[in-house]
Structure 1
């Protein structure tokens, strides 16, 4: 896991960006809390020993899991060297000796032997994996899972539904950007979710379960400030990408972005986002 080569990076934003790392730290915390904890949906965490988190970013989920379940050995991998360095520094500061991190490109064959982990976890791969990269990615997940191990994937069902026409239009622009860059499989939805269950079934996974989650980021909620910051950082990063593709003019985006933040600060603003976790078990030999 020593590859520092970002030439084949397919993450939609710059994986070396400090602003993006700050956004992912907050997003990770929001998602884990809304899901009810790092291993929500896992019936018996005590039966696990080795865990892998793919596209771990700054390492929040790995560290939360290592803290909550000290009997586990939890590894996280990501293509971003700054994020991995940050995650390792946090692990040292928190004395999480059961958490480890390494640089790895998850769009290539994983740098792990067969049957290495009892749980493989991945969340929000929609802007990491292009649609054609999913089948080989899932094949690698299957390869490194031990017989009887669990694959746990969490993806958004949609970006958010709100009372603001401007914010809804902003969310639509994110979807258009994903479609234009071959991430989204449909022009109406960002999610790979409908295909994931079928792919897991064809790979022989058993006891496949789906769990729905929701995040309320309305004005008075605890998630509102982090969602506001998330939208701001996403908007700054996506503007040049949208302009390069001709999906909007600079003037139109500026006006929309200004209206987004006016609406976010309205007392009556309300918003919800939804995502789904799919868990399947690799057959025992």
Structure 2
């Protein structure tokens, strides 16, 4: 692998030609690169760095309370480019991991990222159609979900968690991790978050009926898991310090910039802000995040459940 400098860290990047296109063509549908563009080397590096920092801060890819000896078959839901799967495969070589994502470009780049890893299978699969296959019920000892709140409508969550419960064996685990919006000292950051929540309300994607500076998904996770037949073993709240000068600040800044780019079409489409006003707000967000007095925390909620027999 080659390397890319990012902040004060040097991390490996995925080689552009690590895969053979003719080999993956039979496994992947023909890609519309406008709908599913390939990520740049810099974006892959950013995602790798973000994953490594979070894994370090949260104590590893799995909560330490889990009985690893009971886990053999693992399903990673919405795996993206496979950062979590790669770490798990190296830490636990006897486990068999399956990562699924609806984005064929992500799966292609994840396959390149895996390199010589042999205990990971990656598949293009819409997580909202798992009730129609390809997995049979009671296939997995552990199901892992992470940061999917932006990808799924509120009304689809209960059905998704129920479907995942069917895929788990009796006494299998579900580990689910989601984040809420950051709490910061920045006025522009607050404005951006308020616009996002307003847009989610207009688009029917909100988790709460009112407008606040919170996504609101953390309040629902326990309910959906219990409804699907899980007993909650542990519920944990972490607050990642993203203040200026902290270890995580530069990675969070890169994440915020990427998020602003990704959120632009959604915010403009819902009409909560005009394009010129958004560009000005974007600049203000970047400026205040680089100020020495910038303070913030990023709330992350983790739930661990066991499927009741």
TM-score (norm 1): 0.88
Q: 1:3, 1:40 → 2: CA distance?
A: 33
Task: Identify the match of residue 168 of structure 1 among 190, 206, 212.
Answer: 190
What is the CA deviation profile of residues 118-138 of structure 1, one whole-angstrom value per residue up to 9, with x for unaligned ones? 000001110111111111101
Task: Identify the match of residue 106 of structure 1 among 122, 127, 138.
Answer: 127
Long gaps (5+) in structure 1? 8-12
Task: Identify the match of residue 297 of structure 2 among 264, 272, 275.
Answer: 272
Report if aligned partners of 2:162, 2:227 keep a CA contact under 8 Å in 1: no
Number of the residue aligned with 1:145: 168
CA 177–83 in structure 1, closer or farther in 2 if over 3 Å, else same: same
Q: 2:267, 2:120 → 1: CA distance?
A: 38
Q: 1:263, 1:242 → 2: CA distance?
A: 21
Matches within 5 A, 1:229-240: 229-240=254-265
The Cα of 1:174 is off from its aligned counterpart by 2.6
Q: 2:163, 2:288 → 1: CA distance?
A: 43
Relative to structure 2, which stretch is displaced further, 146-155 or 35-44? 35-44
Question: Aligned to 1:74, what secondary structure does the other structure show?
Answer: strand
Number of the residue aligned with 1:58: 81
The Cα of 1:141 is off from its aligned counterpart by 0.5
CA 179–5 in structure 1, closer or farther in 2 if over 3 Å, else same: farther
The Cα of 1:251 is off from its aligned counterpart by 2.2
Number of the residue aligned with 1:49: 72
What is the aligned length?
276
Number of the residue aligned with 1:71: 94
Matches within 5 A, 1:5-20: 15-16=36-37, 18=39
Long gaps (5+) in structure 2? 1-25
The Cα of 1:179 is off from its aligned counterpart by 2.9
CA 5–152 in structure 1, closer or farther in 2 if over 3 Å, else same: farther
The Cα of 1:15 is off from its aligned counterpart by 4.7
Task: Identify the match of residue 247 of structure 1 among 263, 272, 283.
Answer: 272
The Cα of 1:46 is off from its aligned counterpart by 2.4
Report if aligned partners of 1:50, 1:74 keep a CA contact under 8 Å in 2: yes
What is the CA deviation profile of residues 146-175 of structure 1, one whole-angstrom value per residue up to 9, with x for unaligned ones? 11101111111x211111111122222232
Report if aligned partners of 1:219, 1:267 keep a CA contact under 8 Å in 2: yes
Question: Aligned to 1:18, what secondary structure does the other structure show?
Answer: coil
Report if aligned partners of 1:153, 1:277 keep a CA contact under 8 Å in 2: yes
Number of the residue aligned with 1:97: 118
CA 199–206 in structure 1, closer or farther in 2 if over 3 Å, else same: same
Number of the residue aligned with 1:10: none
Structure whose alpha-carbon radius of gyration is higher: 2
- Report the aligned-residue RMSD: 2.4
Report if aligned partners of 1:70, 1:98 keep a CA contact under 8 Å in 2: yes
Question: Aligned to 2:243, what secondary structure does the other structure show?
Answer: coil
What is the CA deviation profile of residues 33-73 of structure 1, one whole-angstrom value per residue up to 9, with x for unaligned ones? 33211012442212211111000001000111111111211
What is the CA deviation profile of residues 239-277 of structure 1, one whole-angstrom value per residue up to 9, with x for unaligned ones? 222122110112221221111111111111111101111
The Cα of 1:281 is off from its aligned counterpart by 0.6
Report if aligned partners of 2:165, 2:229 keep a CA contact under 8 Å in 1: no
Q: Which structure carries more relative contact order (alpha carbon 8 Å, separation 6+)?
A: 1
Relative to structure 2, which stretch is displaced further, 118-127 or 263-272? 263-272
Relative to structure 2, which stretch is displaced further, 108-117 or 137-146? 108-117
